[in-house]
Amino acid sequence: MTERLAMESVGAGAPPVRLIGEHIVPAGMQLDGTIIGGLSGIEYDDRSDRFLLVSDDRSKVNPARFYTSKITLSADGIDEVAFESVTFFRRPDGQTYPSIDEWAQVQDRYSAAEAALLGPVDSEELRVDPLTGNLAWSNEGIHAESTTGIPVLIDPALRFSASEAPSSGTCRVRKASATRTPRGLDRITGSKASHSPATANTSCPRWRTR
């Protein structure tokens, strides 16, 4: 897997993006009992001078998670990427998020609202609140089948949580439902990216900015 970092050069008008290097993460590389892979979004946390990298393997290999890493840059590009720790995203009940196969066996016990909070996630991107260190992260939504052919549908959403605590809020994406049409959610229309908004929808937790 290749992770690329880019930086904006200062200039008039829209600044271009310039590739400054790439780092190959060896297949099967492990940290704290997890396999580092399926890396999707990357975020810089200036509070800790660390980068956060999201895994989007939908809990198939290990529960939904992100990795904290120290990335050392120089004039020559990327000198070193040191993966330091792994943090699991957690549901409001404190448990890690299940895989599609795990959820398929129990989903009939839950309402649609409960499934949106407790079901599997396809974590894609996260942002760090620069004042509190809390996280906002996007769930692309699930439109898939288990290995035994059971359909699993989970709406896309934005989630909010403290860095090492269960999710404390969810903002479901109203216009990209996984369950409104027979066809379901086209995976590319779910929540891929997020940013730190200056204002937030009143139905979502308030996002603090500088």
Q: pTM of the entire structure?
A: 0.77
Between residues 111 and 203, which one has the greater pLDDT?
A: 111
The rounded mean pLDDT for the chain is 80
Task: Tell me the mean pLDDT in the region 140-147.
Answer: 93
Q: Tokens 């008008």 identify what position? A: 13
Measure the CA angle with vertex 85, ends 29 and 51; round to 5°. 95
More confident residue, 108 or 189: 108
Contact 156, 139 (CB under 8 A): yes
What's the mean pLDDT in 154-170? 75
What's the mean pLDDT in 2-15? 54
What are 118-137's pLDDT values in tens digits? 999 999 999 999 888 899 99
Predicted pLDDT at 131: 86
Which range, of 7-16, 17-26, 67-76, 181-190, averages the lowest pLDDT?
Answer: 181-190
- Measure the N-to-C terminal CA separation of the chain; round to a whole number of Å: 35
pLDDT in tens, 25-71: 999 999 999 999 999 999 999 999 999 999 999 999 999 999 999 99
139: Cα separation from own chain's centroid? 6
pLDDT at 23 over 50: yes
HSE-up of residue 163 (Cα within 13 Å, Cβ side): 16
pLDDT greater than 90 at residue 151: yes
3-state secondary structure the chain: CEEEEEEECCCCCCCCEEEEEEEECCCCCEECCEECCCEEEEEEECCCCEEEEEECCCCCCCCCEEEEEEEEEECCEEEEEEEEEEEECECCCCCECCCHHHHHCCHHHCCHHHHHHHCCCCEEEEEECCCCCCEEEEECCEEEECCCCCEEEECCEEEEECCCCCEEEEEECCCCCCCCCCCCCCHHHCCCCCCCCCCCCCCCCCCCCC
pLDDT of res. 161: 85
Mean pLDDT of 85-94: 94
List the one residue out of 1, 100, 85, 104 whose CA is nearest residue 45. Answer: 85
The string of pLDDT tens digits covering residues 106-123 is: 999 999 899 999 999 999
Cα–Cα distance for residue pair 59/131, rounded to 1 Å: 30
